[in-house]
Amino acid sequence: MSSVKIGVLISGGGTNLQSLIDSINDGNINGEIVLVISDNKKAYGLKRAEKNGIDNMYINRLEYDSSDDYNEVIIEKMKEKKVELVVLAGYLKILNEKFVKKYQNKIINIHPSLIPSFCGKGYYGTKVHKACLDYGVKVTGATAHFVDKGTDTGPIILQRVVNIDNEDTVKSLKEKVLKVEHKILPEAVRLYCEGKIELKKQNNRFVTKIRRG
């Protein structure tokens, strides 16, 4: 089976990107990251890509008249690299409908909570962890899921639970959840690249079935 060409979108430090790079370098993922794009010029994830010889670029949203124009440019860059799977690794922009349709069931995102809790519009980054602490839930976690036209509404691939302790702060909870993200995102990508994720319709929505072995 030929390796899958992967494009990664980032906005920040790129620790999830690094987890993918490490997993690929260790031979755990039958894929190759061929392009990293950031909407943030100062994103350290661009340096991570550069250090690993991966083509990377910053695309400034302000240089385009609309979000649709901005997304169109990213689509074209992905097409040039023949990207087969798009991974959102801490990407804070919303993909437009055309982008999602172009890569339908070929976009994987990592979210820092157990979807459907603490997700959707306005729930990103540390805002998610603060909401968990404010609500007083005893567990949270991370979710790897496919992206659809909604916000955090696509089929769930993998989830893992993180316990919340009485002394946890937004910072400590973020660090605990990140450790889990770094495990399940590469695992979700591995399963995709091995063709082990099946999508089935159930109760008027799509769900995933993971083939083991």
* Domain of residue 52, CATH code: 3.40.50.170
Per-residue pLDDT at 1 exceeds 80: no
Evaluate whether 189 touches 6 at the Cβ level (below 8 Å): yes
Of the residues 50, 81, 103, the one at which a domain ends: 103
DSSP structure class, residue 103: T
The secondary structure element, H or E, covering residue 88 is: strand 85-88
- Does one domain contain both 70 and 91? yes
Cα dist from 86 to 36, 39, 56, 115, 203, whole Å: 10, 15, 14, 20, 27
- Does one domain contain both 115 and 162? yes
- Does one domain contain both 11 and 91? yes
The Cα 133–Cα 143 span in angstroms is 18
pLDDT interval class at 130 (50, 70, 90): very high
- Does one domain contain both 56 and 33? yes
Q: What's the one-letter identity of residue 41?
A: K
Per-residue pLDDT at 213 exceeds 80: no
DSSP string, 156-186: EEEEEEEEPPTT--HHHHHHHHHHHHHHHHH
Q: What is the pLDDT of residue 204?
A: 86
- Does one domain contain both 150 and 97? no
Q: Tell me which of 111, 129, 145, 182 is the catalytic residue.
A: 111
Digit-coded pLDDT (tens) for 155-206: 999 999 999 999 999 999 999 999 999 999 999 999 999 999 999 999 888 9
Evaluate whether 107 touches 88 at the Cβ level (below 8 Å): yes
Residue 129 catalytic?
A: no
- Structural domain harbouring 37: 1-103
Per-residue pLDDT at 38 exceeds 90: yes
The Cα 209–Cα 175 span in angstroms is 29
How many folded domains does the chain comprise? 2
The Cα 83–Cα 9 span in angstroms is 12
Q: What is the pLDDT of residue 188?
A: 98
DSSP structure class, residue 63: G
Average pLDDT over residues 88-105: 95
- Does one domain contain both 145 and 209? yes
Per-residue pLDDT at 54 exceeds 80: yes
Task: Name the nearest CA neighbour of 125 among 42, 16, 6.
Answer: 16
The Cα 147–Cα 110 span in angstroms is 10
Of the residues 103, 129, 156, the one at which a domain ends: 103
pLDDT interval class at 70 (50, 70, 90): very high
- Does one domain contain both 74 and 120? no
| Exposed/middle/buried for residue 61 (C-beta within 10 Å: 0-12, 13-18, 19+) | middle
